Each structure stands twice: as structure tokens, then as C-alpha cells.
Amino acid sequence: MPSSPLRFGLIGTGRIGQVHAASIAADPDATLAWVADPFVDGARQVAAQFGGEATDTADDLFVPGRVDAILVASPTPTHVDLIARSVEAGLPVLCEKPIDLDIARVEALRSTVASAGVPVALGFNRRFDPAFAEARARLAAGEIGALEQLTIISRDPAAPPASYIAVSGGIFRDMTIHDFDMARFFLGDIVEVQATGSTTFDPGAREHGDYDTAVTVLRAASGAVATIINSRHSTVGYDQRIEVFGSTGTLDVGNQGTSLVRVSNTSGVDTHRPFESAMVTRYTPSYRAELREFISLVRGGASTSPSFDDGRAALLLADAAQRSAEERVVVAVDLS
């Protein structure tokens, strides 16, 4: 690859596309060369802020010689086709999760990706959160012995619009999928899924037959167990915590607060301000680290970027959780 900064083509300029554009602009080894979105005004706004040429079609990014890598942040139904086009063009691609909502489409693309020899990475940015990554490294170093239990708490500040719920694939494929990847990151092979969900507060979830509250239990081949607790709302902010319980100790990752100042008075003792209220502010460092790892992958260096198969495994777990919650059964899984 050239020693000059990698020229990125960004597809999609919604909220997550803008996060990626900012990450590219902040990295000295990357430059935003092209921005594509059918909503061309969005592409123009992102290009004006972060650089690059704006277009209303992804076709312009696949003209030979224009870009060195593709970053896919467009709606989920476009992901499979854009990954396939990138691989066929010999362009490394970093794609947001999930690969698709239909596992059959993912399976159909799997052999093509495996045989192409083109770097393909999935956007599971939470692996690169500094605190989560530190906990994983300290577990791997044996600091707390053998992993026995993992608890992941992930609650959004507020439920998304009903129109989003309608096309999201449901809470397990849309929200919990990040936590499924995190569970695999810590536990390794997972062999069993049991999930339950309810609709307690969100009219949009009720309208579209989804859950706004869910708990999933995963059992690993080692016998270790992960519990994932999700909610579509949290009055105290973006609630993102992990507890790693081992045979000789525990690692805890708490929430990121908006202030280090605590107050004690007649209405409370050691009162904190709310947690970060948005995904963007909470996980900005992880998105930038994710991009750095992908650039290393593209340049042939060492990289821990999640692979296409990691994306496939997370979707298989999401499908198993959906079935478990609907049928009230324990579902055995084979992720090989």
C-alpha cells in the first residue's frame, strides 16, 4: 500500500457515518476522499466538514484509483452488496454491524470473502473501548484466574423512533448484537443461548412486535456464563458496564460520567452527575481505535479488527436469542 494516507470512500452519512467521517479526519494516516449517500445533501455536508468529493451514488467510489478502502455506514440491507462489491474490486472494507438481518445472505457471501484475500472488518467498536480492552487484557494475563461469569449491562438513554424499530431487525439483532460480540471477545466459543424479553414502556416496540427490555444468558464451551442485560431506556444516561468475575478476582468497568465532581448536602451524599447521554460521546475513542486497527490490517500489519466471521457469529447468536425469547426454549448453537 502507498505510504501516503489511505484514501477512504465513506458510504452513508447518517449518525454513524458522521462518527466515522470524524474518525477518518482525525487520523493522520487517513483521508476522506469520497462520500456517497443517495441523500446527496448529507454527503455534501459531511464532505464540506471533513473533506472529500460528494456523490449520490456509491458507484463513484468504485472507479479504479479513486480510493484505497471503503467504509460502509449505510442502512443494513445494503451491507452485503457493498461488501461484495468492495471485495470484487480488491478494496479493503470496514462495514458497520450487522452484516445483514438474514443469515442466509451472510452465509452466501462467506466463501467469497474467505477466498478473496481482501481485508474485511466488522464494526464492533466496543472491543476497542480503552476500559473494556484493558479488562480483556488483564483477564488474558491471568490477573483474576479463570473466567467464570461475565455480566454486561447495556442500556440506551431513550428508545429510538418507531420507524427505526420497524426496520431494525429487533433488539437482539440491532442492540444486543454488540454485546454478543463482546461476550465472544471475553468467553470465546459459545454453545448455548437462553433469552427473554418484554415490552414494558415503548409503544414503538409494542407496535412492531419487538422488546424494549431483554436479558440473555450465554454458556461458553468452557462452562463460563455471560449475562447480558439490555433496556431501550435509562433515565441516568447511557448505561454501559461490565463485570468480569474470575476464580481469583473480579474486574469491574463502570460508567463514564459527565463530571468528576461529587456533591454532598441535605438532599444527598456523594451525588454524581448523570452518565454520558449519547453513544457518540461515550464511544468516540473506541471508534478512532477501531479505525487505527483497520488501517493496520489494510497495510498488512498486526491487527485485532473483528472479521466477517465475527459478524456472522454475532448474528447467529442474535437469531438464537430471538428464537429463545419467542419460543421460551434454550437454543444450542454451533458457530463454526
N-terminal to C-terminal alpha carbon distance within the chain: 32
- What 3-state DSSP class applies to 326? helix
Question: Over pLDDT 70: what percentage of the chain?
Answer: 95
Given a cut of 50, is residue 5 above it in pLDDT? yes
Q: C-alpha grid cell for residue 223?
A: 462452562
Lowest-confidence range among 9-18, 22-31, 113-122, 274-283? 274-283
Amino acid 301: pLDDT: 95
Residue 114 CB neighbours (<10 A)? 12
Amino acid 270: pLDDT: 65
Give the residue numbers spanning the domain of 160.
127-283+328-332
Select from 65, 83, 118 the last residue of a domain.
118
Amino acid 15: pLDDT: 93
Q: C-alpha grid cell for residue 105?
A: 445472505
Select from 97, 118, 139 the last residue of a domain.
118
pTM of the full structure: 0.94
CA distance 46 to 13: 7
Amino acid 259: pLDDT: 63
188-195: average pLDDT: 97
Phi, psi of 231 (to 5 degrees): -145, 150
Reported confidence tier of residue 258, pLDDT bands at 50, 70, 90:
low
Same domain, 95 and 156: no
**CA quadruple 254, 255, 259, 264: dihedral sign:** negative
Buried/exposed code over 164-181 (b: 16+ C-beta within 10 A; e: otherwise): ebeebbbbbbbbbbbbbb
Q: Is residue 214 part of a domain?
A: yes
- What 3-state DSSP class applies to 116? helix
Given a cut of 60, is residue 89 above it in pLDDT? yes
Same domain, 250 and 138: yes
Same domain, 154 and 89: no
Q: Is residue 317 part of a domain?
A: no
Q: Is residue 213 part of a domain?
A: yes
CA distance 59 to 325: 41
CA distance 98 to 314: 8
Same domain, 164 and 261: yes
Closest CA to 68 of 14, 121, 124, 119: 119
Contact 138, 259 (CB under 8 A): no
Same domain, 110 and 199: no
- Over the chain, what is the mean pLDDT? 95
Q: Mind listing the pLDDT tens digit for each residue in 59-80?
A: 999 999 999 999 999 999 999 9
Q: Mind listing the pLDDT tens digit for each residue in 129-182?
A: 999 999 999 999 999 999 999 999 999 999 999 999 999 999 999 999 999 999
CA distance 184 to 317: 10
Strand partners, 158: none
Q: Is residue 248 part of a domain?
A: yes
Phi, psi of 204 (to 5 degrees): -65, -45
The one-letter amino acid at 213: T
Same domain, 51 and 10: yes
Q: Is residue 311 part of a domain?
A: no
Same domain, 47 and 149: no
CATH, residue 141: 3.30.360.10
Q: C-alpha grid cell for residue 298?
A: 489494510
Same domain, 77 and 22: yes
CATH, residue 62: 3.40.50.720
Residue with cell 470484487: 88
Q: Is residue 309 part of a domain?
A: no
Same domain, 38 and 149: no
Largest CA distance in the chain: 67
Select from 98, 118, 138 the last residue of a domain.
118
Same domain, 155 and 186: yes
Q: Is residue 173 part of a domain?
A: yes
Given a cut of 80, is residue 275 above it in pLDDT? no
Given a cut of 80, is residue 303 above it in pLDDT? yes
Amino acid 267: pLDDT: 77
Reported confidence tier of residue 1, pLDDT bands at 50, 70, 90:
very low
- Per the structure, how many domains does the chain have? 2
Q: C-alpha grid cell for residue 325?
A: 425469547
Same domain, 141 and 96: no
Q: Is residue 320 part of a domain?
A: no
Amino acid 325: pLDDT: 98
Amino acid 260: pLDDT: 57
Q: Mind listing the pLDDT tens digit for each residue in 224-247?
A: 999 999 999 999 889 999 999 999
Given a cut of 70, is residue 2 above it in pLDDT? no
Same domain, 79 and 159: no
Reported confidence tier of residue 271, pLDDT bands at 50, 70, 90:
low
